[in-house]
Structure 1
Amino acid sequence: MDKREDNVLEMTNEEYRIELEKIFDSIDDNRILRYFYIFVSEKLKRVL
């Protein structure tokens, strides 16, 4: 991680991927994963 001007720690893309993988590897409930996928997909539609 590096430190940006505004004192907010920011991870690299690879660090984000690793952290997300850790989070989602522990989730066995498909409903939760599906909900999150839909949520993120909708949010991305608004910004992309």
Structure 2
Amino acid sequence: MIFDPQILAQATAFVKAFNSGRGVRVPKMTFNQWPHFMRAVRQQLEVQA
């Protein structure tokens, strides 16, 4: 996985909002960034489980 600090920060913000019950939104990104974003989100959710 390509490490991109911006994608990691967006994924962290997404997971925090999701866990707090607030509305979440997916940030604007290119199609090739999407798998990296989703992998980061899944990893963060798995760590919490």
**TM-score normalised by the shorter chain: which range applies?**
0.3 to 0.5
Give the TM-score normalised by the residue count of structure 2: 0.44
The structure carrying a bigger strand percent of its residues is 1
Return the structure number with greater relative CO, CA threshold 8 A, min gap 6: 2
TM-score (norm 1): 0.44
- Larger helix percent: 2
